[in-house]
Amino acid sequence: PESKLPALGTTIFSQMSALAQQHNAINLSQGFPDFDGPHYLQQRLAHHVGQGANQYAPMTGVPALREAIAKKTAELYGYKPDANSEITVTAGATEALFAAITALVRAGDEVICFDPSYDSYAPAVTLAGGVLKRIALQPPAFRVDWQAFKALLSPRTRLVILNTPHNPSATVWQQSDFNALWQAIADQQIYVLSDEVYEHICFDANGHASVLAHQQLRQRAVAVSSFGKTFHMTGWKVGYCVAPAAISSEVRKVHQYLTFSVNTPAQLAIADMLEQEPAHYRQLPEFYRARRDRFVQALARSRFKLLPCEGTYFLLADYSAISSLDDVAFCQWLTKEAGVAAIPLSVFCADAFPHKLIRLCFAKREATLDAAAERLCQL
Ligand code: PMP
Ligand code: GLN
């Protein structure tokens, strides 16, 4: 059949994890922990399965989980969304992003995103008939040029997609970025899709700036979160989005026919976890800071030049002192020859991205990080 997405192949994450497996390399490519999530969470899952909570959940998510999310949001961002009308539990952040884009973007609408951008945004925009306008952020700071942003706005602009803490650059937005965004779009009816899956993995002294903390922006925003990141359970695929009732209602129209609802016992277990052990996510920055610092220190004697990591569990490394290969070729070489798999950055960009940067995931056991650093230091 004629493809609706002719230029698209298999995601870089599947590709690199498969290559890592094939060559028995240490996999620092696809972002997932190689350790387990909290024991309590596992116990609660078993508990709810044993109690027979095994049928369809309500379409919008189990009430206990939506209540717990409302409470957490109020505590962290000073705004309590209505659990009934403003919170929707989804099959990971991926589904929330797809449902929001499908619900908001009409044929011919323009959507602005910032490159490098997470790879699931563009195909969703294309399938909705939207036109993506990309702003290229430049390393090492990857800051938004707000003049360039304003120049890209048009009467057709419908949606802005942002991501903070940012995968893959590991930079974070400040409150001032949200203020600048608001100033730029205030007088036009433009929606905001804020991908905040790494909200609890932020090392910046100011903490995570959420769109939900911005009084005006949140009235037009869909904020997306993922419990996979927060509880080290990427395979559970439970996420959610928060948006004003009128927007949530549109997102739910898509969600109800995309997945209808998300698996019940996992939702109940996560609700228990949020209620009983909020210390888990409060301590997450420290938990990952220790791993980041250990890995950075172990790589200090390598020929890689490391970029600052303000958030996420990814570290960018410049390999220009080691190789002149482009980043895709270098990542393949690194996996096959050096036994460490990483992610190239150019795959997240529409324009040429000639920088010699790779992304390394440090959501790994200390032994894994040490072994990977050992190999990387030999290059
Ligand atoms: N957005 C970003 C920026 C991500 O890095 C990821 C996953 N790594 C997702 C969305 C998808 O999250 P989930 O696994 O919950 O679908
Ligand atoms: N988001 C994860 C990453 O950036 C991967 C998710 C996936 O494999 N779909 O590595």
Provide the sign of the torsion angle of the four alpha carbons 185, 255, 96, 345, taken in this order.
negative
| Atom 2 in ligand 2: residue holding the nearest Cα | 31
**Highest CATH level, class, for 12-30+283-377:** alpha beta
- Confidence band for 271, pLDDT divided at 50, 70 and 90: very high
Contact 56, 261 (CB under 8 A): yes
| Atom 3 in ligand 2: residue holding the nearest Cα | 31
- What pLDDT score was predicted for residue 175? 96
Ligand closest to CA 121: 1
CATH 3.40.640.10 intervals, the chain: 39-277
- What pLDDT score was predicted for residue 354? 94
Average pLDDT, integer, range 321-331: 98
Distance 154 CA to ligand 2 centre (A): 32
Contact 28, 315 (CB under 8 A): no
pTM score, whole prediction: 0.98
- Confidence band for 208, pLDDT divided at 50, 70 and 90: very high
Contact 241, 94 (CB under 8 A): no
Pocket of ligand 1 (CB under 6 A): 31, 92-94, 118, 163, 167, 195, 197, 226, 228, 234, 239
CATH 3.90.1150.10 intervals, the chain: 12-30+283-377
Average pLDDT, integer, range 125-154: 97
Distance 321 CA to ligand 1 centre (A): 31
- Confidence band for 42, pLDDT divided at 50, 70 and 90: very high
CATH architecture of structural domain 39-277? 3-Layer(aba) Sandwich (3.40)
* Percent of the chain's residues with pLDDT above 70: 100
| Mean pLDDT of all residues belonging to the chain | 97
Helix (H) or strand (E) holding 347: none
- What pLDDT score was predicted for residue 245? 98
Ligand closest to CA 95: 1
- Confidence band for 14, pLDDT divided at 50, 70 and 90: very high
Exposed/middle/buried for residue 333 (C-beta within 10 Å: 0-12, 13-18, 19+): middle
Helix (H) or strand (E) holding 371: helix 366-377
Distance 310 CA to ligand 2 centre (A): 19
* Percent of the chain's residues with pLDDT above 90: 99
Mutate to test the pocket of ligand 1, among 95, 226, 258, 262 (most ligand atoms within 8 A of CB): 226
Instruction: Say if the ipTM goes beyond 0.95.
Output: yes
Ligand closest to CA 226: 1
- Name the residue among 152, 168, 169, 170 with its Cα closest to residue 160: 152
